[in-house]
Structure 1
Amino acid sequence: MNPFVKRIYHLLPAPLRDLQNTLRIKDRVLLCGKEKRERKVIENIRQKLGRGERINVAFLAMSVSFWKYDELFAFMRQDRRYNPRVIFTARPIDAPEIQEMHRQKIETYCNERGFPFQESLKDFEPDILFYAQPYKNSVMENMRAYNFTKALICYVPYAFFISNYKWAYDAQVHNLAWKLFYPSELHRKNAEELAFNKGRNVEVVGYPLADKFATPAKNDPWKIKDKSLKRIVWGVHHSILSDDLADCGTFLKFADTMLQLAKSRPDCQFAFKPHPHLKEHLYKHPDWGKDRSDAYYAEWNKADNTFLVDGDYIDLFKTSDALIHDCGSFTVEYLFVDKPVLYIGNERNNILCNFGKAAMNANYTQKDFSVEEFLQMVSGKNGEDFKKSIRQEMYRKYLKIPQGKSFAENIMDLLEKNFG
């Protein structure tokens, strides 16, 4: 331990010294002066605004699929007080070619929308810094939250967390952030129970994708435009390796079955929507590797009624008829479109939080239908959509944006309240 940090550490209050969570010694030292630093940053921001200067806002982005802040970014672009930038941050555990692929895609995405994009924070000192993931492997060491003591750290989860895992609420970003923008009161309660700071920095503002789901689709991304063919999305999580924290992934079990099923159903078309990290996990898997993985992905683009989606998926969901998946976040996100959804992931009831249990109850599971039976129900040939009312109640109770505004408007109002 650094001698200076060691001296400061012994002066910390006992609760901070004895903290047995994911925070490092350096993080615990930073927690001591957190509120004082934040007050100073807020005062600096007010002074900048008083001088007619703009507030520098950095949004860290690691891939297109994890970028869900178009509306908030657009609001800031339209407000003369803000100077927002999208900053690419590579995941340190990704291979160089994977990092470059994500960089190119996020840059293209930003260019198409007119969003200012940079590959680093060089020559751009942020007053506010937005994180989308809490994980240590999400950003390089120099981009970790503890490096930015002169900025207000904000965290907007890239996904709906449905578990009660401590790492989802008690990592470095959760405790060092100025504000955590959470989607529901149940998530606030999880933070109060699991986070060291008891969720004192939580603001309930809704989920960022709610803004996008509330508007009609801009494009029809489906291969065949004939809507008489039922449109089925297969969403696949990346957790296939033995050391993955999550354990919901069932790709290895369903890979061949889903591809064969798709080719055997000319009355449907299927979109394969893998998690952005699935391919790199397949590269590492002893039974798959790079050649087999690349060939499998390519196979989904060969048939007339199948195709691969590896980027933005909002319009895909909006224009689909049903989802089959094993992803925690999709358990909730697809409820915004109010279409039948079948969860085929591993059973996780023992780790679901109350929000997760409610969301899972709005999904069909294999206790209700097999994949084939689910497709028959969706096509109207067997049974009825008996969970429709449950999905709608889930939306009214937990997913509707608070204060009757959009996610982006709620955050902008909160910044206005603090900065004037």
Structure 2
Amino acid sequence: MRFSLYIKIKDMLTTLTEVFQYIQSGNDRELCMQLCLDSLEFIEAINKALNDNKNSISDRLIEQLELISEKINYFYRKYKDGSVEDCEFNILLDEVKVVQILFAQDVKLVYHIVFFAELGQKWDSMKSVYDAFKKRDDCSVKVVQTPIFRAVEKEAGEIETDVIYEDYLTHLGIKNIPYDDYDLSQELPDIGFISNPYEGVTLPQFWPENIAKYTKLVYIPYYTEMSINDASIQVNCELPVARHAWRIISQSEKVKDMHVRYSLKKGENVLVTGLPKWDGMCDSIISSNKFNEEWKRKLNNKKVFLWNSHFDINSQTSTFLEYGRSIIDLFSKNEDIALIWRPHPMTDTIFKLYLPEYADHWEESKSIVEGSGNMVLDTNNSYDIAFEFSDALISDYSSMIVQYLFTQKPILVLQKGNGAVANTEELVQTSLLEQAKNQSDIERFITNIKKGIDENLSKRMQIISDDLPYADGKIGEQVCHLLLAELQKQA
């Protein structure tokens, strides 16, 4: 039986008890007779709902309801001839209490859960939670594939849009539903999950406000928050999802405290568990047979560096314009080392729509990498293969740094200007990592890795211990358990 139906029937049984209590104390004979008839209709509706869920109930529950119906008919007849005694109603109330006990004990509940999935690169944020719900016999789980897009207004009011709508789930063995085949208002799931907080990149039907009308909305961040600043406060505490989410899954007490200080709900809907996206990195073992032949040919028997670049060139986040071409040139001239370039998955869309003046630079950089003998462009939905194949990470200020920490491999953070992000309170102590403020720092890092020098391991382990204490590989299971427990409190 669906949990939502269980709650309705439970409420109906409570109402039935209240009706009988009123009849017992009531002096209006005509009203009491009508209430008896209304109660019979009430029980008939409950019976129909139970019989529609035969596999979820016991015979003794149906039998008890039939017994109550017989007693109500009996009392109705006695009301007609004026011979009802109060003590007899005590017996009826006791019988209703028996139904309530049987209903709580015998009904097999099924929780209906839906995950709204968009970019393949974000699926890791929900995967372990999905796996945990799928393992349960009392859960029916669906995944809805939703589009993500960017739009920009061109001259004469023309809107240019780039839409990403890719079924990457079927390849993973996950059945999924196209977004236009899923009617949330009809399905009415008990819990709905999203990982995208931005309304401007998805359809209105998948905005937090509209999802929350039909289900208990749970927001699981697709990235690890690195610091507290004006931008992170705005994204975490001021977007509509902070108001409409039934629960927000939080990486730490510090993030919850940010909600307490800045969000409208003052953190009351925040659940601190750590992020499910960390689970896969805690025990990730990638089989080498997943590596394609191009990667094997270009990267085998070399020190391999993973370069993670961001598209936001107008902020302190991206160093693509500062270091991008020089990094590519460095690897072009040194074939004893190899490069996996994994640009942010939205880079192509951003340069196409919003920064067309840099589109040629972007395309030329990709072309050089793809035509080289020791560099590959990583466009896989998952970064697992790149993490496994690489020996070290060179990265813009990005939450991928946090994921890479779990590999225990060296990390170099590329800085722009005076630092990665100004005026921040660190949530993840990236300042403890090796930093590059110029090209010489990058070259020095690469040289040390080639020599097997890694003087920063203890600091990286300190970051995990201090800032990611919930990372135990079981966060998805914990999220599943806690959310169902909170749902059950309402039963």
Q: Residue 224 of structure 1 aligns to a residue in which SS?
A: helix
Task: Give, in whole Å, the separation in 2 of the partners of 1:41 and 1:265.
Answer: 66
1:61-102 deviation per Cα after TM superposition (whole angstroms, max 9, x unaligned): 221112112222122222122222222222342588842xx3
2:436 matches 1:366: yes
**Could you list the per-position Cα deviations for residues 342-393 of structure 1 after superposition, in whole angstroms to 9, with x for gaps in the alignment?**
111432443332314x2x1232112596111110111117xx4222111111
Write the letter of the residue equivalent to 2:306: V
Please give the alpha-carbon distance, in whole angstroms, between the structure 1 residues aligned to 2:449 and 2:457: 12
1:169 maps to 2:236: yes
Which residue, out of 165, 168, 184, partners 1:103? 165
Q: State the shift of 1:52 in Å.
A: 4.1
Give the secondary structure class of the aligned counterpart of 2:370.
Answer: coil
Bigger mean CA deviation after superposition, 324-333 or 304-313: 324-333
CA distance in structure 2 between the aligned counterparts of 1:320 and 1:46, rounded to whole angstroms:
56
Deviations 1:199-253 (A, max 9, x none): 111111122232111224223437137754111001011212x5xxx54111122
Instruction: State whether residues 197 and 241 of structure 2, in contact with CA within 8 Å, keep that contact through their aligned partners in structure 1.
Output: yes
Q: Which residue of 1 aligns with 2:175?
A: 116
More divergent stretch after superposition (369-378 vs 84-93): 84-93
* Alignment of 1:232 onto 2:232: no
Per the TM alignment, residue 57 of structure 1 is displaced from its structure 2 partner at its CA by 2.0
Q: Could you tell me how far apart the structure 2 residues matched to 1:41 and 1:198 are? A: 31
| 1:377 aligned onto 2:448 | yes
**Which residue is equivalent to 2:201?**
138
Where do 5+ consecutive residues of structure 1 fail to align? 1-38
Q: 1:267 to 1:417 in 2, by over 3 A?
A: same
| Cα distance, 1:98–1:124 mapped onto 2, change above 3 Å | farther
| Partner Cα separation in structure 1 for residue 399 and residue 10 of structure 2 | 37
What aligned pairs does 1:19-418 form with structure 2 within 5 A after superposition? 43=7, 52=108, 54-68=110-124, 69-94=126-151, 98-99=162-163, 102-104=164-166, 107=167, 109-120=168-179, 121-122=182-183, 124-147=187-210, 148-164=212-228, 165=231, 166-170=233-237, 171-220=239-288, 221=291, 223-224=295-296, 228-240=301-313, 242=314, 247-283=316-352, 284-289=354-359, 293-310=362-379, 311-346=381-416, 347-356=419-428, 358=429, 360-366=430-436, 370-380=441-451, 384-401=453-470, 406-418=474-486
Normalized per residue, the structure richer in helix is 2
* Structure 1 range deviating more: 46-55 or 409-418: 46-55
Q: Do the aligned partners of residues 231 and 93 (structure 1) sit closer, same or farther apart at CA in structure 2, a change above 3 Å counting?
A: same
AA aligned opposite 1:203: L
Change (3 A) 1:41 1:264: farther
Deviation at 1:43, TM superposition (A): 4.0
The alignment partner of 1:296 has SS state of helix
Secondary structure, counterpart of 2:422 in structure 1: helix
- 1:373 counterpart letter in structure 2: R
8 A Cα contact 2:415 2:437, kept in partner: no
- Cα 1:324–1:405 change in 2 (3 A) is closer
Percent sequence identity is: 20
Determine helix, strand or coil for the equivalent of 1:180: strand
- Flag the structure with larger Rg: 2
Q: Distance in 2 between matches of 1:145 and 1:390?
A: 39
Q: Does structure 2 retain, via aligned residues, the 8 Å contact 1:57–1:85? A: yes
Change over 3 Å in CA distance of 1:351–1:43 after alignment to 2: farther
**Gapped runs of 5+ residues in structure 2?**
12-52, 57-103, 153-159
**Which is further off, 87-96 or 303-312?**
87-96
Partner Cα distance (2:123, 2:454) in 1: 32
TM-score of the aligned structures, taking structure 1 as reference length: 0.79
* SS of residue matched to 1:169: helix
- Specify the SS of the correspondent of 1:385: coil
Q: Which amino acid in 2 is paired with 1:219?
A: S
More deviation, 46-55/319-328: 46-55
Separation in 2, partners of 1:168, 1:271 = 30
Q: What is the distance in 1 between the residues matched to 2:382 and 2:252?
A: 24
Counterpart-to-counterpart distance in 2, 1:306 and 1:40:
53
After alignment, is 213-222 or 277-286 more displaced?
Answer: 213-222
Separation of aligned partners in 2, 1:71 and 1:366: 34
- 2:115 aligned partner, one-letter code: F
Distance in 1 (CA, whole Å) between partners of 2:9 and 2:248 is: 19
1:53: Cα distance to partner? 5.7
Contact 1:152 1:178 in 2 (8 A): yes
| Secondary structure in 2 matching 1:288 | helix
TM-score of the aligned structures, taking structure 2 as reference length = 0.68
